[in-house]
Amino acid sequence: MSTPDAKRHLAQFNIARIKHPLDDPRMAEFVDNVARVNALAEQIDGFVWRLKDDSGHAMGMRVYDDPRILPNLTVWENVEALERFVWKTVHSRFYGRREEWFEPIVTPLVLWWVPAGHRPPLEEGVERLDHLKAHGPSERAFGWESLAGAQFWKTARGARVSEHAA
């Protein structure tokens, strides 16, 4: 897809379907670290915004009318900032363990460029993900593989890390 400029930021939306209720002891390590990982994201140079409700996260927001699906929607100044957070922080350790907590989803992540200052609502993330599933990568909706500047995801995929959400 095209390259960013100072007037655009990178939005990402991903979903994960939990294997167990959030209050199940098998989910405790994940749940206990959500605030930590979110706080880390907010400290990364290039972080812009993340969707959250009064709880401080988005785990109580419902998508696809499925209470087991957890949404995550963030905006970043550029792909490098997003990659740095996903693959070069403690987030990568939790991501690497996602199969303990989440069921596989074929297309769990979508990326798209937004005007600087835009805060996409949850519905926009869902629409973009649905568009990617229905039509494949385009300027409207794409994955890591469509970002020319993305580097870390390639190494992570080579280490058996795929685009399943965590």
Q: What's the mean pLDDT in 9-31?
A: 96
pLDDT, position 164: 38
Q: What is the pLDDT of residues 124-139, one digit of tens each?
A: 999 999 999 999 999 9
Model confidence at 87: pLDDT above 90: no
Q: Which of 60-64, 82-86, 147-151 has the lowest mean pLDDT?
A: 147-151
Model confidence at 82: pLDDT above 90: yes
146-to-2, 38, 138 alpha-carbon distances in Å: 9, 25, 8
CA count, 13 A, side-chain hemisphere, 134: 7
Please name the helix (run of DSSP H) or strand (run of DSSP E) that holds residue 31, with its range, or none: helix 28-43
- The answer to whether 14 and 132 have CB atoms below 8 angstroms apart is no
Q: How long a stretch of residues is the chain?
A: 166
Model confidence at 10: pLDDT above 50: yes
Domain locations in the chain?
Answer: 8-158
β strands within 25-124, DSSP E: 47-50, 69-76, 102-103, 109-115
Chain centre to alpha carbon of residue 46: 15
pLDDT band at 156 (very low <50, low <70, confident <90, very high): low
pLDDT, position 104: 94
- The answer to whether 69 and 103 have CB atoms below 8 angstroms apart is no
Q: Which of 12, 157, 163, 39 is nearest to 102 (CA)?
A: 163
What is the pLDDT of the chain when averaged over all its residues?
87
Model confidence at 110: pLDDT above 90: yes
Task: Give the contacts of 25 (CB within 8 A, at least 6 positions apart).
Answer: none
Architecture of domain 8-158: 2-Layer Sandwich (3.30)
pLDDT, position 94: 85
